[in-house]
Structure 1
């Protein structure tokens, strides 16, 4: 993602982060209420236990009353049992609440990602996005845990017990309180250091994940160029950077935790010293000192718990910023305020003075203007072919028709209706694309073909398989349609993957078909068979064909020739050859 995004992705306060995460929890408030009640009981029981200890030391032992001793021990054990039961209730239902909230968040983020524009994905790294959907969301899950929710209860405990120890002995309470500013100073100093360290670690982890994703999905390229050592060295660099970042974060945490523990020990030492002094003076009992130490521990406990959670809080805050940076993205290709359904297609598609250029920041290698004043008509029920050298704008035109991008100026209309006014889902449902980039999902052959129309029957699947010259191949497989194709279709040849993508588009049964080098991966025999099937199919449909092999578009109703994003010629195959212009040069170059 952009440097600007990386700089701003950790913005946001702890309060904003908690508000964001707990908004998911409040969807099932009864779980939150149950957990708060359980934590309240736990806090009260923890408050009672020092009282029992003081009673045993100050009353039972001096009076040597074994009945009271047995009763006190039984009450202490029962309190421990009840405490254990409520700890179980709190932990179990907190897990349910946490998993529900995090699942909702992950689903929300995934659905939001899918709705973002093509432009966003062109400028984002897959490995980084995967890290945000997995590790970053997992970091937020720690915010909805028993330990984290205990912080809420501990805050009230801290206030209540602090008031109590001031009531019991204000001198010792004041002395202990003097250590709290020291803790605050240490926290303030190390908060920024730890957060920065984990921000760098998260960024380097994303780069490492992206490197893994790139290499594992391009393993054939790596092996064909013998670049295993190069890629291993590159990954080693990212992994070593992540190692150093994690060590830096760990070093800060290693310094921070002992400092906090040392300040707490100083507080206990002060209480012991003053307590011993007051016992010697007869102003305090031993049992009262033991209970007082327990209460001091209860005061220090929230501070210790918070400082222990600082590590996780800083990681969560970094992850929250990275997730927010995605949720702050806004798609640019949007439905109109009152979108229209796709029209009863009967006239054609008209491109009128279309101008378009890619965002220079996200497409630094693109020309300033990819399409310049493009005007032509794609007649209903006819086949229009786009030809031209690589980079002339052919594929860009098809992506504008499918509204992957919006025009800079000019218009594209379908039966006179501007495509910006047509509901995006309805528009794309009526356009089937077979691209030169073949996308195969990890699953069965049936699943891949049904991707075009999930409700289709097996008979319909076999019908389009036959039209795509794929039926004989499928029938020869042991599992036929249930044959697994593997990740990215690794078990299929290039031609088989292309035919599978053609069958998928045929099953969609859309009135507009875009073929972007659709027969590029086929041998001559398969190409001829599929071309015949496509010709029969396209008789009743409007088609836009991008062809590198000009021999495949001889029968096109019209051919549009593009150069540098401009239309330089229009006509049929025969008329363009006679014109002896750009098309004839391309044609002759292929058959020299």
Structure 2
């Protein structure tokens, strides 16, 4: 067996220390490098389809499950537009009936008939509007939910390397805030376009029939209104991008501070955290201020231009009435049609605003969806049932960055079925990295890792990881009960199996002493438990999984002496039935290992069982004596 290691720069073992800070492509802070750089490096190549076209297709694809509802929504939108156009025509008929007052009974009958028709049209319009507002919004919410689900599912596929570089707060912002406006766009986009086109075309045609010159006056103003709206909508979009990036930074600050609230309080640094938050909050306020400035001008324009058109129609229309070129009834109908004509302009401006907001959010989440997971199943990857547990490293090399130093180089190692192997040595020599390569948390750059003689890249990821149990030094428990956290190892397990796993991890006694036993809620990250109790729950979770291969990454580091001895006994019992790798700084936990590998910057400098290594009086013996003297 031969192995050489190289020390990493900032990371130790499995990338525990934080990488250098940088910024996202949208200007917000993040780890390691720009999110946009990650996106451009890893998005799926498609030489035939431009990125914008591909994204539009992806955007439209979310309508596919809702085509019947979309068609019904558009049909109701068409009815709303038609009834809106019909009402001014009905009013025109009423004014014509007023001209026939020399035959009062006939005129009144006509007025009543038209009035009844108008009420019927209003009823149809109200029902159609109700359908559009409710069902349309439900449709938009379902599409937004589907996209959020896709983003979350894709995040589950991304490797440890991705999360080493990207802050969770930024991802949370993209999964939540960035999708809020998409539901509105999905709903209002098609109906606003349909209503706008029908109303504009219909109203313009009616106006032209009533008075051509006055129609030209109205139509001439509309392009200026549209251009004004587009200009300030664009400015709003730029401000929106900045504010959304900044809310991501606020999420990061909040997540960091609240997750580490015990550290904050232990150092009495509440004021420091408040100042840090206030700095991010002030940047967010400034980004919103720019957006509100543009939004104010946008809002002023959308209200002023319609009023300007109305004033122009009243003044010029009155002049044409005085010149006997337009009848008073026609002028009244003209004003009503102008109101109908103005609505499409406002809807178009609203659509542009929604499009800008929705596209900004969609582009940001697409950067995640277009990030190709760097660890995937190979074509033809096989599913294995229960592995026997042999592990082999063949000329394995690994480094975290493409141009970074090697952590492992030319590693050759064989671990037999059922062997209990301990990895010891100083931090940063590749112990955790070595173990993280087996379940493919990271991918070996060179060489191959074999489980039962099969390259792990030829085994389906889910199948491979079901055969490997990992208990890490950094304990993570989910909010919920004790039983739910242990069941995470095997959700279909019975209560008896949960209790058996807890007993194997010597956790059953303290669990039963809790207020509600296994049904006790342990809070976020197991906040109500001690460090040793939390660690034993994670060990119980791994025991319940019952994998043929176990990896303990300094899993007993948080245990007191009594708990350590208990877990050590449990490990010894389990090791007789499965392949076990233990990374340990406390050498007392691995005295019973079948083989101990001593790793340094020079590689594996020693190997053997505890007694033989002590007798050799080498590096291991020195480490052991040093710990014994503490």
Range into which the TM-score falls when normalised by the shorter chain: over 0.9
Q: Equivalent of 2:322, from 280, 287, 299?
A: 280
**What number of residue pairs does the alignment pair up?**
587
Deviates more, 1:434-443 or 1:346-355: 346-355
Is 1:5–2:43 an aligned residue pair? no
Is 1:247–2:323 an aligned residue pair? no
Partner SS, residue 145 of structure 1: helix
Cα deviation for residue 187 of structure 1 reads 3.4
Task: Provide the C-alpha distance between the structure 1 equivalents of 2:35 and 2:423, rounded to a whole number of angstroms.
Answer: 38
Cα deviation for residue 286 of structure 1 reads 1.3
Partner SS, residue 144 of structure 1: helix
Q: Equivalent of 2:85, from 47, 63, 72?
A: 47
Contact 1:433/1:514 (CA < 8 Å) preserved in 2? yes
RMSD: 2.4
Cα deviation for residue 222 of structure 1 reads 0.5
Match in the other structure for 2:510: 473
Partner SS, residue 410 of structure 1: strand
Deviates more, 1:396-405 or 1:132-141: 132-141
Question: CA separation of 1:411/1:360 partners in 2, compared to 1, >3 Å: closer, same or farther?
Answer: closer
Task: Provide the C-alpha distance between the structure 1 equivalents of 2:504 and 2:130, rounded to a whole number of angstroms.
Answer: 62
CA offset digits 1:236-277 (Å, max 9, x no partner): 111111111111101011112223433333333332233223
Task: Provide the C-alpha distance between the structure 2 equivalents of 1:263 and 1:79, rounded to a whole number of angstroms.
Answer: 28
Deviates more, 1:44-53 or 1:95-104: 95-104
Task: Provide the C-alpha distance between the structure 1 equivalents of 2:304 and 2:141, rounded to a whole number of angstroms.
Answer: 36
Match in the other structure for 1:227: 269
1:171-190 aligned at under 5 Å gives the runs 171-190=213-232
Task: Provide the C-alpha distance between the structure 2 equivalents of 1:69 and 1:344, rounded to a whole number of angstroms.
Answer: 85
Task: Provide the C-alpha distance between the structure 2 equivalents of 1:32 and 1:162, rounded to a whole number of angstroms.
Answer: 27
Task: Provide the C-alpha distance between the structure 1 equivalents of 2:481 and 2:116, rounded to a whole number of angstroms.
Answer: 64
Q: Equivalent of 2:369, from 327, 331, 343?
A: 327
Task: Provide the C-alpha distance between the structure 1 equivalents of 2:314 and 2:497, rounded to a whole number of angstroms.
Answer: 85
Question: CA separation of 1:8/1:245 partners in 2, compared to 1, >3 Å: closer, same or farther?
Answer: farther
Match in the other structure for 1:539: 576
Question: CA separation of 1:254/1:18 partners in 2, compared to 1, >3 Å: closer, same or farther?
Answer: farther
Is 1:257–2:299 an aligned residue pair? yes
Match in the other structure for 2:69: 31
CA offset digits 1:160-205 (Å, max 9, x no partner): 3223323432212222222123124323432332111111000111
1:92-241 aligned at under 5 Å gives the runs 92-146=134-188, 149-241=191-283
Question: CA separation of 1:167/1:55 partners in 2, compared to 1, >3 Å: closer, same or farther?
Answer: closer
Is 1:398–2:435 an aligned residue pair? yes
Instruction: Say which structure, 1 or 2, has more relative contact order (CA 8 Å, 6+ apart).
Output: 2
Task: Provide the C-alpha distance between the structure 1 equivalents of 2:133 and 2:306, rounded to a whole number of angstroms.
Answer: 27
CA offset digits 1:290-319 (Å, max 9, x no partner): 211222222221112222444443222211
Task: Provide the C-alpha distance between the structure 1 equivalents of 2:366 and 2:617, rounded to a whole number of angstroms.
Answer: 57
Match in the other structure for 1:562: 599
Is 1:409–2:451 an aligned residue pair? no
Task: Provide the C-alpha distance between the structure 1 equivalents of 2:275 and 2:571, rounded to a whole number of angstroms.
Answer: 47
Question: CA separation of 1:318/1:31 partners in 2, compared to 1, >3 Å: closer, same or farther?
Answer: same
Cα deviation for residue 383 of structure 1 reads 0.5
TM-score by length of 1: 0.94
Cα deviation for residue 216 of structure 1 reads 1.2
Cα deviation for residue 360 of structure 1 reads 6.2
Contact 1:351/1:376 (CA < 8 Å) preserved in 2? yes
Deviates more, 1:96-105 or 1:326-335: 96-105
Partner SS, residue 66 of structure 1: helix
Task: Provide the C-alpha distance between the structure 1 equivalents of 2:111 and 2:59, rounded to a whole number of angstroms.
Answer: 48
Task: Provide the C-alpha distance between the structure 1 equivalents of 2:406 and 2:615, rounded to a whole number of angstroms.
Answer: 30
Contact 1:435/1:516 (CA < 8 Å) preserved in 2? yes
Deviates more, 1:14-23 or 1:343-352: 14-23
1:295-314 aligned at under 5 Å gives the runs 295-314=337-356
Question: CA separation of 1:181/1:388 partners in 2, compared to 1, >3 Å: closer, same or farther?
Answer: same
Contact 1:375/1:567 (CA < 8 Å) preserved in 2? no
Task: Provide the C-alpha distance between the structure 2 equivalents of 1:586 and 1:2, rounded to a whole number of angstroms.
Answer: 44
Q: Where has structure 1 moved over 4 Å in runs of 4 or more?
A: 6-19
Cα deviation for residue 572 of structure 1 reads 2.0
Unaligned 5+ runs, structure 1: 362-366
1:69-108 aligned at under 5 Å gives the runs 69-108=111-150
Contact 1:515/1:544 (CA < 8 Å) preserved in 2? yes
Contact 1:373/1:566 (CA < 8 Å) preserved in 2? no
Task: Provide the C-alpha distance between the structure 2 equivalents of 1:501 and 1:346, rounded to a whole number of angstroms.
Answer: 23
Contact 1:257/1:307 (CA < 8 Å) preserved in 2? no
Is 1:424–2:458 an aligned residue pair? no
Question: CA separation of 1:8/1:171 partners in 2, compared to 1, >3 Å: closer, same or farther?
Answer: farther
TM-score by length of 2: 0.88
Question: CA separation of 1:406/1:359 partners in 2, compared to 1, >3 Å: closer, same or farther?
Answer: same
Match in the other structure for 2:420: 383
Is 1:455–2:492 an aligned residue pair? yes
Match in the other structure for 1:364: none
CA offset digits 1:452-478 (Å, max 9, x no partner): 111111111111111111111122233
Partner SS, residue 580 of structure 2: strand
Cα deviation for residue 427 of structure 1 reads 0.6
Deviates more, 1:405-414 or 1:313-322: 313-322
Match in the other structure for 2:562: 525
Partner SS, residue 203 of structure 1: helix
Is 1:435–2:472 an aligned residue pair? yes
Task: Provide the C-alpha distance between the structure 2 equivalents of 1:20 and 1:172, rounded to a whole number of angstroms.
Answer: 44
Task: Provide the C-alpha distance between the structure 1 equivalents of 2:419 and 2:201, rounded to a whole number of angstroms.
Answer: 79
Task: Provide the C-alpha distance between the structure 2 equivalents of 1:415 and 1:564, rounded to a whole number of angstroms.
Answer: 29
Contact 2:181/2:358 (CA < 8 Å) preserved in 1? yes
Question: CA separation of 1:292/1:160 partners in 2, compared to 1, >3 Å: closer, same or farther?
Answer: same
